[in-house]
Chain A
Amino acid sequence: MAAGVTDMTSITSRKERSVSATLAAATCALLGTTAAAPVDAQEEPKWDFNTSLLYYGEDESRVQDMSLKSIIRRLFADDRTLTLGLTVDGLTGATPSGAIRQDVPQSFTRPSGSGSYVVPAGELPLDDTFKDTRVAITAGWQQPAGEKGLLSVGFSASKEYDYLHTGVNASYAHDFNNRNTTISAGFAFASDSIEPVGGAPIPFTNMLDVGDTSNRVGDQDKDVLDVVFGVSQVISKNLLVQANYSFSQSDGYLNNPYKVLSMVDSVSGDTLTRTPGIEGGPSGIFLFESRPDERTQHSVYTQAKYFMNGKVLDASYRYMTDDWEIDSHTLDVRYRWPIGDSSYIEPHVRYYTQTEAEFYRLSLVDDSLVPLPQFASSDYRLGNFDAITAGLKYGWKTRNDNDMSIRVEWYTQSGTVPAGQLIGNQASRDNYPDLNALIVQFSYRFSR
């Protein structure tokens, strides 16, 4: 019976299909021509789901991050788009505390103030209590404004144990010159509040014994305003160039509440020692860092995309300068190389270099004749360093036309402390905490 039914169905559909062919021939006779070209139409997908799982792991059991990110786009009529994003990060590991290496073991009070830990002699002091879960959401709405304009507005929020971010953004892009030129302007405003574990330490106060919270104050906040102006230009069928200028102004609490500086002897360069309290505490004099409460950054970004027969060369350069006297240069090159019709390989190289902040200090000097500077931080991210990222991405289309990719990259960062800052024994130690990390990302995208 089943076979009979199948046969009937196939006869019916053969007959039905001949309707198309007869109709095509009759239409051709009616119009006196055949169609200029066969129909090429497809329904625009309404939903676009893009999910990626990222592993970022620093060596020597420093920061490990597992990040799951989902972006859902809903397309509406008239080119209007709603984009919703959700990111969940799980962070663990240790991060440099800012104190310098010593030839003897050192003890430190944990940021919570409720315990202490010991760093062996000769080792870089790492605070191993770094553990956090971050949840971030974004929402964006994009729609045409007039015939040549595109308006975008968005909202973002994220929550970590000790950090709450909320932000809004808006931008407008306008096409000119037969849509070969686009100029854009946008802003983003963020209002963040910082609730450090154990309270925010008063800058330049000493790390205290376990249980002593006398130098801790309540929650802090900061505001960040970003403004960006851009222009992109189609130069030829193969070349697209883009340039942006952006300005960023941060105000408020810009310290890292967990970073300290070692107070050192002006001759030996060794950390001044103290006797920890009964319940534990620091074995040396460590001062919480102090940064300015504002920062102004300017950056210029240029990008060129060159299309050659399915291959794409994408090169960009960014120059950033700020009033903390950090100047940075970023050069990023990626090359997409198709393999067959449905996969590609994309090598990527990025080079980054920056000068240290004006108030970057490896340590603070105990000298009654020299007062403490107004600001100081030994955060390695404010130091003078170079970083290289190199990796490879392989992407392919699945049988049902979804996109998958896997990206593997290595990141290496190495820095130097200005020679003029090295005192006594410091000159013979490895002072800048170099960093190597592995990045692996798996992405999956589908539309329906």
Chain B
Amino acid sequence: MLSRILSEDFPRSKTLTALLLVIVVSLALGPFLFDGIRAFTTLGMICVFIMVVAAYDLMLGYTHIVSFAHTMFFGIGAYGVAMAVDGMGNSFGAVLVGIIGALAVSFVLSLLLGLLSLRVKAIFFALVTLAVAFAFLSLVTQLYNITGGEDGMRVRVPRELGPAFRPFENSLPGIDVPTLLKGLLTQPWNIGQVWQEATFEVRFNGRNVMYYVLVAMATGVFLFLLRLVNSPFGRVLQAIRENEFRAEALGYRTVVYRTAVVILSALVATLAGAGFALINRYVNPENTLNFELMVFILLMCVIGGMGTLYGAIVGSTLFILAQNYLQDLLGWVGQYTAGIPLVENLLGEDHWLLWFGVLFVLSVYFFPAGVVGQLRIWALQRRNRKSPPPSGPEAEPVAQT
């Protein structure tokens, strides 16, 4: 059963399995495990970016297509919903029209981009996508009459997805895990009180409903892509990654496959963008179309591990956590280092971006194949030390380094 759902593509490393379980449980029970609006926003962003990064990994990790237009498709989804709701009122019909319209626009644009890869290869293709993405960004900024320009747009979501909607009469019980852990570490003799401090009331509202819609979307998209990469189609993509010339010589029309991947990836990004607009309720060029965002997506993909798909979950979680909480962590460490010259300065909250960078350098150094790829390599090496190398017909292939 599990094997069918995961398309037989298991984490293949105990550490990774544990890590994924923690992430998945945290996301699934998120609103009941983490108190506060900031935690809620972070959870939502992780769900959105799991989709975005998984779709990007399909292109980059599985097919070796480098595209910088991924945020464009994300933005099309976000603005599609925002504009539809703006024009037609906050009904589910409007949301649906927005999503379908955005998917249609993305389909046409990605088809054109995909066909372009017939003529323009590798780095040149990447540059063309970059140019297209920038053109789109400036278009959105210029057309402020309909897009709000730099100011962006507020998204008036349907009532059922907003804070006013209350599906349950009573509030539900929640337990704030960070508070609990902190209490257990600092005053374990006081369990009763710690527990009481950690419990909170979850006022389950429409935003939580939207969050669970996102969780469902991310789950669906992820499992679909997992099946896709383990299908005969996915194998052809890997063949194109490994040796496009040879794939062509075997009779695969590689342009068709590449185009299909570009389109699919664009559609998923669009869908994720629509989800983003509905949970964030505000879109502007900076949070949907910015080139910085594109680089972040690339980083999440690389940090998680290219060509693993699970890397999308690990990469987006680690990245978004670091982005949102590194500053807090530094502030907390800063309490204890205050007064020590130089260290005090280096660990200042204002320098979080520096440490952000240091973290990446370290992660690339110690996890050259990405977190997922490296954990798998280590697990495989451990197994090989115990038993001889693979010999069965379906022995597991080693992750790409």
A binds B: no
- Residues of chain B touching chain A, judged by Cβ–Cβ distance below 8 Å, are none
Listed in ascending order, the chain A residues whose CB lies under 8 Å from chain B are none
